[in-house]
Amino acid sequence: MKKNLGVIPAVYPMPVLMVAAYDENGVPNVMNAAWGMICDTNKIALFIDEDHKTTQNILKTKAFTVSIADVKSVEAADFFGIATGNKMPDKFAKSGCKQERGEFVNAPVIDEFPVCMECELSSVVDTDDMYAIVGKIVNVKADEEVVTDGKIDPARLNALIFDQFSSGYYVCGEKVAQAWNAGAALMKQAKKK
């Protein structure tokens, strides 16, 4: 029997995304964002507040990167979530992380995170119900150790996932079925009815 829990953000898992952008002086800022998702084959939507330092940087430079945090980078990833660039302008320098300018966009690629999407600002969605930054993905970079046969390998990536129920980080990676195949027998049976 199910138990009523009230109104909570009950989506699991959530990604642990590192959103990075330069300010007008070329100083990098990075934030940890769990509320983001691919919204087209070449677009990503980030549901982040307008008042974040990173958001303001994106609006000024029209470019940003989105990286996937992994188990090896959990300390840096969490730091970028608890430190705010609005109160700690040298937050990136204090993290000890390293960065290089993206090849395709004017935004930082953070060395410590194994997968990085270079994005151009595509649009801003600002309604009574949501504020979202939508980016056009112009390139994806990945460390060689997380790539198998030219594709990102989730088992090797050890991507962090965020648990909104108890504010924990977990690792994903075990494949349990093949998408668009696991339900094939049910589909075949449904077509007979």
Res. 31 pLDDT band, cuts 50 70 90: very high
Res. 149 pLDDT band, cuts 50 70 90: very high
Q: Give the helix, strand, coil percentages of the chain, each rounded to 5.
A: 20, 40, 40
45-69: pLDDT as tens digits: 999 999 999 999 999 999 999 999 9
- Asked if pLDDT for residue 73 goes beyond 80, the answer is yes
Res. 144 pLDDT band, cuts 50 70 90: very high
- Asked if pLDDT for residue 107 goes beyond 80, the answer is yes
CATH 2.30.110.10 fits 14-192, yes or no: yes
Domain ranges across the chain: 14-192
What does the angle CA 62 – CA 80 – CA 169 come to, to the nearest 5 degrees?
Answer: 120
Q: Which amino acid is at 149?
A: D
Q: How far is CA 147 from the centre of its chain?
A: 18
Q: What is the pLDDT of residue 7?
A: 94
Q: How far is CA 32 from the centre of its chain?
A: 8
Q: What is the pLDDT of residue 192?
A: 87
**Contact assessment for residue 12 and residue 163, using Cβ atoms and an 8 Å cutoff:** yes
In percent, how much of the chain has pLDDT > 70?
99
Verify cis geometry, omega within 30 degrees of 0, for the bond prior to 108: no
Res. 142 pLDDT band, cuts 50 70 90: very high
- Asked if pLDDT for residue 30 goes beyond 80, the answer is yes
Q: What is the pLDDT of residue 53?
A: 96
Q: Residues 140-169: what's their mean pLDDT? A: 95
Enter the tokens of residue 117: 């999407």
Mean pLDDT of the chain: 95
CA distance 132 to 38: 12
DSSP assignment of 111-137:
TTSSEEEEEEEEEEEE-SS-EEEEEEE
**Alpha carbon distance, N-terminus to C-terminus of the chain:** 30
Q: How many CB atoms lie within 10 A of CB 6?
A: 5
- Asked if pLDDT for residue 38 goes beyond 80, the answer is yes
Residue of 13, 104, 109 whose CA lies nearest to 66: 109
**Contact assessment for residue 113 and residue 67, using Cβ atoms and an 8 Å cutoff:** yes
CA distance 82 to 122: 27
